[in-house]
Chain A
């Protein structure tokens, strides 16, 4: 059991180190306590569900002709917001890049 916990801690540390997670994730962890013991899991589950929906929306929008960049930009903005809220730093940064492609109306980007 100890070993598992240690592994989990190491994995978590790696995520932070590699820039997948940022300080906001630590903030989430701080909000978890006895009165709300599953807070992090609940939020992350919501995040994954929400992200999946948004990604599907974005894929569909990219297949349309002509591509509605404004709509896609709106989806990406949402994705950026939620990833920032949960500390998913890499996703957040990717969204920023994505949005500049939207602005340039660069479908291939």
Chain B
């Protein structure tokens, strides 16, 4: 499975804006990922459907002549606002598909709308990026892709993997993090303090990236009290 792409991760990027497609392609290539870009959710599903055909039925002729047999997608990153099928619709379709639901999905949006963010995370999105996306944001992708690759190999270790990543993920909230809720309840107080100090530090730093994160955290904290960004400094297993 994926012998040709063993050392490389393949990302499918979906965005109706040609500029954003170019940007995300460059960002991903700079981070050493293989990239395929499409301009709509339906094209994305087409591409993914063909991939799955290749994996489950090697006899099906591939419509993509160059890559042929092992076109495995390790992550889908999609814009939220798209005509026709939105990023959310695409996310749902992927998670509803038995063959595709294990593919991690990341949503991007230029608008910081907490309810939208939560909806996407609840539907199974791994991350939510605010646009414009930066190189530093992409470092959050690797853990999700590695996790999926390992899943194919070892089912048992996958559980441990997910748990440690949730702890180590200092920005994102995922539905799975709610499992951690009872354990971290006592820690949440100190982390709240850590959270606000860091927030202040971020405010004094330059705009752009930090502003976006601050928005994210403020947007998220107003909506969900339960989970908090974790700065526990637990060493990453990855």
* A residues lining the B interface (CB < 8 Å): 22-24, 27-28, 30-31, 33, 36, 39, 42-43, 46-47, 50, 77-78, 80-82, 84-87
Q: How far is the CA of A80 from the CA of B17 in the complex (A)?
A: 11
Interface centre among B17, B19, B26, B135, by most chain A C-beta atoms within 10 angstroms, is B19
Q: Is B113 an interface residue (CB 8 A)?
A: no
Chain A binding surface, main DSSP class: helix
Q: Is B23 an interface residue (CB 8 A)?
A: yes
Which residues of chain B have C-beta atoms less than 8 A from A43's C-beta?
19, 22-23
User: Are the C-beta atoms of A81 and B20 separated by less than 8 Å?
Assistant: yes
Expressed in whole angstroms, the minimum distance between the Cβ of B70 and any Cβ of chain A is: 25
Flag if A50 contacts B26 (CB, 8 Å). Answer: no
Q: Which B residues contact A (CB, under 8 angstroms)?
A: 17-20, 22-23, 26-27, 29-30, 81, 110, 131-132, 134-135, 206-209
Residue in A closest to B16 when the chains form the complex, CB atoms: A78
**Shortest CB–CB separation between residue B54 and chain A, in angstroms?**
29
Cα separation A81 to B20 with both chains bound (whole Å): 8
Of B30, B131, B206, the residue contacting A85 (CB under 8 A) is B131
If A81-B20, A81-B81, A85-B131 are given as contacts, then 13 extra A-B residue pairs at C-beta distance below 8 Å, sorted by A number, are A23-B207, A27-B132, A28-B23, A31-B27, A36-B26, A43-B19, A46-B19, A81-B110, A81-B131, A84-B132, A85-B19, A85-B20, A85-B132
Contact B208 A50 (CB under 8 A): no
Q: Are B208 and A24 in contact (CB under 8 A)?
A: yes
What A residues does B30 contact at CB under 8 A?
A: 31, 33
A-B contact pairs, 17 of them (CB 8 A): A22-B208, A23-B208, A23-B209, A27-B132, A27-B134, A30-B135, A31-B23, A31-B26, A31-B27, A36-B29, A46-B19, A46-B22, A81-B81, A81-B110, A85-B17, A85-B131, A87-B132
